[in-house]
Amino acid sequence: MSINNSEELLKHCLATMMVCETAPLLKDHLIALFDKVILPLEAKEGSNDTDEMRQQIATIFEEIVDEMPIAKPDDVDLKELSKCYGAFLWCQRTVAFIDEAKEEMEAMAAAYTLKLDEDTADFQENNR
């Protein structure tokens, strides 16, 4: 799944937020992933791309909510929901990266297996 324009971005964001509001366990896990894994990893790399994107999404949704004719329910926390979406995007980028690197990973695994087979054969040859 790829996001190609701002309309798709908003659609996926809304879907993620709706799912998180109906599945509190998923929401808790995404927030924990964001706070305890993503932010520390990005800080270690000297990056804050995911958090910047989360902040942009939160701003957009606050503007949309402010323009709505009805008041936002008190129990809806847009900051938490934007963390969920940030975690969702991070996971999506990670999967895309793994898909792109899949051939290289398979080649490395094949080379490792070949070397292991060679070492095993050498060991057996030397220990007869």
Q: What is the pLDDT of residues 8-24, one digit of tens each?
A: 777 777 788 788 888 88
The string of pLDDT tens digits covering residues 22-31 is: 888 999 999 9
pLDDT at 1 over 60: no
**Chain centre distance of CA 76:** 22
Under a CB-based contact definition with an 8 Å cutoff, are residues 21 and 48 in contact?
A: no
Domain edges within the chain: 6-100
What does pTM read for this prediction? 0.67
To the nearest 10 degrees (0 to 180), the angle between helices 6-22 and 24-33 is: 120
**Chain centre distance of CA 110:** 28
To the nearest 10 degrees (0 to 180), the angle between helices 49-67 and 78-126 is: 150
pLDDT average, residue stretch 57-86 = 79
